[in-house]
Structure 1
Amino acid sequence: MKLMKKMTLAALLFASTSAAAQVVEGPKVNWSLSFFGNPRALSAGMEGIIEEVKNRTEGNFNIQIFYGGQLSDSRENLDGLKLNAFEGAAICNFYHPGKNPAWMVFSLPFLPLGDPKVDKYVRAKMFEHPAIVADMAAWNAIPYLTGLLPQYEILGRGEAPTDLSDWEGLRVRAGGGLGDAMEALGATKQTLPSGETSTAFQRGAIDAAAFPFTYAHVSFGISEEADWFTSNLAPGTSECGWILNKTAYEALPTQYQTLLMDLREMGMDIEQAAYAEQDAINLPIFRKNLEEIVYSEEQIAKFREIAGQPVWDAWIAENSAKFDAQGVFDAIWDYAEEAQNQ
């Protein structure tokens, strides 16, 4: 909670220096957003935006996040938006792959993501891609703020998988293409909601869990159950971002719409600062209490060989009849190249 308060303050310092005087006048509006879990680095960006919106509108546009699935189960936030049950929500694409098939591209392994500058550019551009927009339109929603999730790493219990063959038979919480990559190593993928993973560890239902490294492992209590962690597997990431109810957004006065969109850059900066701050705290603790697995360059190359291109090709083939899967996949690489050349 202290981190969230600190990041909210950072949001005000970031945006209010010149913007506070620019009051945005408008009617009284109250919004509710559905979020799974407690306040953490993933929610820090939206929390900062909410505080700045309140500040800039002098309290006329009030947005409240309801944590812990108070408004909806994590797998049903899209349904809630379609029913106009609330004005916005956070989603994780792999919680409901059939509901957001194009968004599953973000969970493919070994995409050119991981560098903060590249991530901001690529994900912001992808949130405007026709296929990504169409996924949300089917649920009366629009993409708003990417979660900018860091690369995943894996924490687990029992004997550490220091060789790639050691993953054979391990039950790993990992969704989407990342889960497919783990299956290529012989593991069994599990797609548990984040909040259920620690309990599954305690009950012996899973052996390892892939989460954004390092903040999510701590947020969901995984590091308290684990014996070891990977630090350079970097198999991929996913998209747990914020989306808005289309009906509610279009009903806003134009000045409120503009304000929300103008604050996305600030929200992304806050998210990345929150992740970096958590890494500085968590990584030394991990190294003190857990066994660190560092794979050789040869092992990483082998992993990419068996779980990279084959998983990409399978995803494109599986989805080509639903949308321009090849185009969506290529767009990420094209945007990454653009970001690197800027």
Structure 2
Amino acid sequence: MDRRSFIKKAGTAGAGAAAATTLAAPALAQESPQITWRLTSSFPKSLDTIFGAAELMADHVRAATDGKFEIQVFAAGEIVPGLQALDAVSENTVEMCHTCSYYYWGKDTAYQLGTATPLTLNARMQNAWFTAGGGMEMLNEFYNSNGVHGFVCGNTGAQMGGWFRKEINTVEDLDGLKMRIGGFAGKILAKLGVSPQLIAGGDIYPALEKGTIDATEWVGPYDDQKLGFNKVAKYYYYPGWWEGGAALHSFVNLEKYNELPKHYQAILSDANSAANTETLGNYDVKNPKAVRELVNNGAVLRPFNQQILDACYKAAKEVYEEESAANPNFKKIYDSQVAYAREAYLWQQLSEYTFDTYMMLQQRADNI
């Protein structure tokens, strides 16, 4: 082959390669389209840890897609009120929300089980059940039937039992108490005479200050300190037996989720997982300092005594039996959680509990 013939053929091949490259670019662009979604939160911006979980998730999505998939995060009330976040997603007012599944248990009691099942799982067990125990698959069968797809997006860890204007020494002290409390815990406590009130986070302080309610639970020391509950109620009880590991969720309109490219769906899943881990870490770092500051500023720590916990446990079991008999969705998910809890607590007695107990003794002895 002479030199001129070689150059001519090489030039033709190069032009073909260039043309192929030119043709490929639009296809790649279509695979990673520019998408902007709105997310409405159930939480105010002032609660940087719980509200921030959605921002963490959105940041991960943005970084992984080089800005092609943008999720704009709006605080409670900026688009819809905090307790209407899920409705806004199912009705396609917005593509996404960040909320607590149990806020919507009035629609179907199975929603409760996505956040926290009172006196059942702690945070580590909750995450294990979601990811390795088939929990999210089971929950999404339920969520999908309601037009949304769910992701775990944050966990607070075991919560505090809340702020009370008076001491709670007996089960009888609960009778007639007006308490802000979310989800199934209110139904359980109602069996003991409590009048449960579901109030969005930003509205709790004025209700407690004005005496509209006698007590409130929210999350734990860091968030409670930001909301200033210690200024209007003195007694700070623990543990929050109704939320041993409260999970937050982001919900996506199911139709919008199914329209996403598969790799965007995977990125969204990974971003929620990252936010879930980071949020629990944030609470575990911030709560120890906050509880010390609250006590130094006059908060009085009190444990719920054994009599009260036993009464609450008995009432909870009654509620679970009632709901399992009435709601197949509830029964299916609840039975799965309880079966896992039996095994998990057996193992944690040998591992986490013995280790934690020993190290707590060292902490009390100032040996750490």
TM-score normalised by length of structure 1: 0.81
Distance 1:310 1:273 in 2: 32
In the TM superposition, residue 156 of structure 1 has moved relative to its aligned partner by 3.0
Distance 1:88 1:224 in 2: 35
In the TM superposition, residue 70 of structure 1 has moved relative to its aligned partner by 1.4
Deviations along 1:292-314, whole A, 9 cap, x unmatched? Answer: 34337xx32x2333222432332
SS in 2 for 1:271: helix
* Equivalent of residue 252 in structure 2, options 241, 244, 250: 244
In the TM superposition, residue 201 of structure 1 has moved relative to its aligned partner by 0.9
SS in 1 for 2:229: coil
- 1:57 counterpart = 2:62: no
Alpha-carbon distance change, 146 to 56 in structure 1, aligned in 2, over 3 angstroms: closer
In the TM superposition, residue 329 of structure 1 has moved relative to its aligned partner by 1.5
- 1:104 counterpart = 2:112: yes
Distance 2:331 2:104 in 1: 21
- 1:37 counterpart = 2:43: yes
SS in 2 for 1:186: coil
* Equivalent of residue 168 in structure 2, options 149, 154, 161: 161
1:61-76 to 2 correspondences below 5 Å: 61-76=69-84
Partner residue, 1:326: 331
Paired amino acid for 2:321: I
Distance 1:126 1:289 in 2: 44
Distance 1:145 1:107 in 2: 12
In the TM superposition, residue 279 of structure 1 has moved relative to its aligned partner by 0.2
SS in 2 for 1:59: coil
Distance 1:87 1:167 in 2: 41
Name the stretch that deviates more: 172-181 or 249-258.
172-181
8 Å contact from structure 1 (residues 99, 135) kept in 2: no
- 1:194 counterpart = 2:201: yes
Partner residue, 2:294: 286
Q: Larger Cα Rg: Structure 1 or Structure 2? A: 2
- 1:77 counterpart = 2:82: no
* Equivalent of residue 224 in structure 1, options 197, 219, 231: 231
Paired amino acid for 1:188: S
In the TM superposition, residue 91 of structure 1 has moved relative to its aligned partner by 2.6
Deviations along 1:62-119, whole A, 9 cap, x unmatched? Answer: 11111132122223222222221111102323433232421223444211214xx323
1:136-151 to 2 correspondences below 5 Å: 136-151=143-158
- 1:207 counterpart = 2:221: no
* Equivalent of residue 335 in structure 1, options 318, 336, 340: 340
1:251-330 to 2 correspondences below 5 Å: 251-295=259-303, 299-300=305-306, 302-330=307-335
Paired amino acid for 1:35: S
In the TM superposition, residue 41 of structure 1 has moved relative to its aligned partner by 1.6
Deviations along 1:169-205, whole A, 9 cap, x unmatched? Answer: 2211112321133334433221222221111012110
In the TM superposition, residue 227 of structure 1 has moved relative to its aligned partner by 1.2
In the TM superposition, residue 139 of structure 1 has moved relative to its aligned partner by 3.4
Distance 1:139 1:339 in 2: 31
8 Å contact from structure 1 (residues 249, 257) kept in 2: yes
SS in 2 for 1:69: coil
Gaps (5+ residues) in structure 2?
Answer: 1-30, 349-368
Partner residue, 1:9: none
The structure where helix makes up a greater share of residues is 2
| Pairwise CA RMSD | 2.7
In the TM superposition, residue 219 of structure 1 has moved relative to its aligned partner by 4.0
Paired amino acid for 2:129: V
Deviations along 1:96-150, whole A, 9 cap, x unmatched? Answer: 3232421223444211214xx32321244565243x2244224321111243233
Q: Report % sequence identity.
A: 20
Partner residue, 1:28: 34
Paired amino acid for 2:118: P
Distance 1:43 1:126 in 2: 27
8 Å contact from structure 1 (residues 72, 80) kept in 2: yes
Distance 2:318 2:134 in 1: 20
1:179-190 to 2 correspondences below 5 Å: 179-190=186-197
Alpha-carbon distance change, 108 to 42 in structure 1, aligned in 2, over 3 angstroms: same
Paired amino acid for 1:31: W
